[in-house]
Amino acid sequence: MEHVNLKIGPLTFDRASYDDENDVLYLHVGDPKLAEGEETLEGHVLRFAPGTNDVIGLTIVGPRQALAREGRISITVAATVETTAKHLAPALAAR
C-alpha cells in the first residue's frame, strides 16, 4: 500500500493500491480496516467506518479503461449535511 495524497471531490485518501491485472484501484484513509461497503451508481464501492457516514475507503473498478475511454471517472458520493436547533427554530415554530 503506497502513501498518497489524493483528493477526489470532497474525499481525501492517503493510501492506494492498484491491481493491474484486474484494473481495480483501492483507496484508503489510513491503513485498510473493517468497513461497510455501498456500491455507487457507477459500480464503484464506497467504504464507511462501521455505523457511520465516514468514508474510509473507495474501490474504483476499471479506472484505466474508463480514463482511456472517457478521460474521466465519475463517482456519485452522497453528501451529509448538518444543521442546528438554532437554524431549525423558525421552521419548528411554524404551524
The reported pTM is 0.80
Burial class (CB in 10 A: 0-12, 13-18, 19+), 56: buried
Check whether 27 has a pLDDT greater than 70.
yes
Burial class (CB in 10 A: 0-12, 13-18, 19+), 5: exposed
Q: CA 81 to CA 51: how far, in whole Å?
A: 17
Domains of the chain, residue spans: 2-93
Look at phi and psi of residue 66 and say left if phi exceeds 0, alpha if psi is from -120 to 50, else beta: alpha
| Mean per-residue pLDDT, 78-91 | 77
pLDDT classification of 30: cutoffs 50, 70, 90: very high
The string of pLDDT tens digits covering residues 36-82 is 999 999 999 999 999 988 999 999 999 999 999 999 999 998 766 67
Q: Which of 24-33, 54-63, 80-89 has the lowest mean pLDDT?
A: 80-89
Residue at 18: amino acid letter? Y
pLDDT classification of 26: cutoffs 50, 70, 90: very high
